Amino acid sequence: MNALPYQDTKPVGAAGFYTAINATFRFIQGRFGADGLRRYWEDIGTRYYRPVSDRWTAGGLAAVADYWRTFFAAEPGSDVSVTDAADHVEVEVRTCPMIAHLREQSREIVPCFCQHCYFVSEAIGRPAGVTVRVEGGGGSCRQRFYLAASAPAAQTLDAIKEVQS
């Protein structure tokens, strides 16, 4: 089974779509505020990415690592390593492809943009008993995925930087 539930005919996505993701966040935040944007992220993680949750449920942390390796291989411009540690999966994002592209295009980035990685991944992981901690942001970050039973202290949003455009 492929780690990505939705398959395209081309191996790598089109970076031009990153501007639409950023614009979507801005639109939803403008209409529904920060709580509405978080609800969107929770809903997309819970509903659209449900097949990812199912893979993580079936395969545990190995499936989490497999997913992120395959995911970033299909995102143009990413510089990311995924490491299997003893009790977690570590995703080190040296170059976030989306932030890099938005900056190249001189786009105004939604300041809380990097929080989406926490809220979406947390919603994907919840049915699988997986939780995430995100540290950094604004173009590079470290994301650690744990089994919920052995996770460290809860995520604080202060640990996720606001994005400077």
Partner 1 sequence: MIGCYDFCGHYEWTFEWLREMGGDELVKQYWDEAIHQDSQRHAGEMIVNEGIEGMKKYWAHTLEEEAAGFICTSSDKFYRIDMHACPSKGFLIQNGLEQYRDYCDHCIGWIGPLMKRAGFVIDHQHNHCGQCWWEMRRTEDAAVPATRPADDVRLRADWKMPGAMIDSYVHATNVDQKEVLPPEA
Give contact residues for partner 1 (rule: CB under 8 A): 4-10, 12-24, 26-28, 31-32, 36, 40, 43-44, 47-48, 71, 74-76, 96-98, 105, 116-117, 120-121
Q: Which is nearer to partner 1, 7 or 150 (CB)?
A: 7
Dihedral class, residue 133 (left if φ above 0, else alpha if ψ from -120 to 50, else beta): beta
Q: Would you call 154 helix, strand, or coil by DSSP? A: coil
Closest separation between CB of residue 131 and partner 1, Å?
Answer: 16
* Minimum distance from residue 16 beta carbon to partner 1 (Å): 6
CB 152 within 8 A of CB 133: yes
Closest separation in Å from C-beta 14 to partner 1? 5
- Closer residue to partner 1, CB minimum distance, 61 or 110: 110
**Of 28 and 150, which has the nearer Cβ to partner 1?**
28
86 versus 161: smaller Cβ distance to partner 1: 161
Short-list 109, 120, 64, CA closest to 91: 64
> Closest separation between CB of residue 115 and partner 1, Å?
11
One-letter identity of residue 31? R
Residue with tokens 């990812």: 52
Half-sphere exposure of 1 (CA within 13 A, CB side): 14
| Cross-strand partners of 82 | 91
